[in-house]
Amino acid sequence: MRLHDLKPRPGAKHRRKRLGQGESSGRGKTSGRGGKGQTARSGSSIRIGFEGGQMPLIRRIPKRGFNNARFATVYLPVNIESLNSFDDGARVDESVLRAAGLASGKSDGIKILGDGELSKRLTVCASAFSASARAKIEAKGGKCEVVAKKAETAKA
């Protein structure tokens, strides 16, 4: 068998339904778009929740309560396995992790998680550590230094 002999399995490919091919085709006249109006036109799209100018439901219903999500602390997770890329005895902090490409994006700090095994003695500076990560780092003779979160330093 060669590459040019390959064919899809029987029944795997369907013919495209050709719209607007006359009344008896089953998709003639309005071509499945219903009657006239905005949605029958080409290029039409009405944003989600739009009700033709009527006050949308999401704005009609009363808003109550409080959502704490905007005040949540967001950590960038870094697994302990990926710290093996650093030299033995190195000091690893947020700037070093970002430079190495192990942490990217906006966050309130870095959290070291205990997934994997650590083979080097490191001094790790992060905003938070999981219990297993702390135990693995200290078992290798390393140190865990907790630094203040960015949100806390901005308030101070």
Kindly give the confidence (pLDDT) of every residue in the chain, 156 residues in length, as a single tens digit, with 9 standing for 90 and above: 899 999 999 999 999 889 999 999 889 999 999 999 988 999 988 999 999 999 999 999 998 988 888 889 999 999 999 999 999 999 999 999 999 999 999 999 999 999 999 999 999 999 999 999 999 999 999 999 999 876 566 666
State residue 153's pLDDT score.
63
pTM of the predicted protein model: 0.58
Those residues with Cβ within 8 angstroms of residue 78's Cβ, 6 or more apart along the chain or in another chain: 97, 102, 103, 110, 111, 112, 113, 126
* Alpha-carbon span 48 to 137, nearest angstrom: 50
Question: Both tokens of residue 76?
Answer: 């960038």
> What DSSP character marks residue 100?
T
Report how far residue 64's alpha carbon sits from residue 5's, in angstroms, rounded to the nearest whole number: 64
Paired with 92 in beta bridges are 124
CA distance linking residue 6 with residue 12, whole number of Å: 13
Please name each of the domains of the chain with its CATH number.
Answer: 74-155 (3.100.10.10)
Which pLDDT value is given to residue 67? 87
Q: In this predicted structure, what is the pLDDT of residue 100?
A: 94
What integer pLDDT is reported at residue 1 of this predicted model?
A: 85
Supply 86's token pair. 């650093």
